[in-house]
Amino acid sequence: MTSQAETIPPTERPTLLSCTCASTLDDEVVISLRGEIDISSQELLRDLLAAAQPLAGLLVLDMAGVTFLDSSGIKEIVNAHRAGPLRIRGATPPIRRVLDLTGLAGLLT
């Protein structure tokens, strides 16, 4: 018996990432992420960050609801950081570990 993940091509798998966005009076845009950040959600994350970046003096990623982060997500976070000010808050211990190992822990607030 094969699992659903094995039978659906990666590009057709439903994304397991959801988000909400809010702006603050401090010229911040806060994106609260929930779920898994991997190859299946990379395009969604890329588009979201690209749309929010020009609106923000500071882009804040609230990752309290993120349960998984792979190199696809790291790539998009790095690209967003290169494009403008970015901070990460609320990272759980497993996500903090990934950020530590990839040298992105300095973005944590």
Residue type, 78: V
Chain segment 16-74, per-residue pLDDT in tens: 899 888 888 788 999 999 999 999 999 999 999 999 998 889 999 999 999 999 999 99
pTM of the model: 0.81
Q: Tell me, what's the pLDDT at 15? A: 57
**Is 101 a domain residue?**
yes
**Is 48 a domain residue?**
yes
| Burial (Cβ within 10 Å: 0-12, 13-18, ≥19) of residue 12 | exposed
**Is 87 a domain residue?**
yes
Residue predicted with more confidence, 10 or 24: 24
Domain CATH for 27: 3.30.750.24
**Is 5 a domain residue?**
no
Can you tell me the distance from the alpha carbon of 109 to that of 41, in angstroms, rounded to the nearest whole number?
A: 24
Tally of domains within the chain = 1
**Residue 97, domain extent:** 15-107
